[in-house]
Amino acid sequence: MKNKVPEYRGKYGFSQDKLAETLGVSRQTIISIEKGKYNPSLPLAIHIAKVFQTSVENLFILEDHDIK
């Protein structure tokens, strides 16, 4: 799944550390999400979207090959 987390993080002036602290997760989790190596749980995805005042659908892009 692709995502716009780095784009929104930059727009809102968050470092990876600050976003991780805000969300209560590790910086490594943020790095993995941004690189597309880890898809967040639904509650975490919703929390990220709320922090950036956008929808989950705007932040995370489901690709055709992600649907099984």
Indicate the domain borders of the chain.
2-62
* pLDDT computed for residue 42 by the predictor: 96
* pLDDT computed for residue 66 by the predictor: 62
pLDDT tens for 7-56 read 999 999 999 999 999 999 999 999 999 999 999 999 999 999 999 999 99
Radius of gyration of the chain (CA): 11
Q: What is the CATH number of domain 2-62?
A: 1.10.260.40
CA distances from 6 to 23, 50, 52, 57, 68 (A): 15, 15, 11, 15, 26
Q: Is the pTM of this model over 0.85?
A: yes
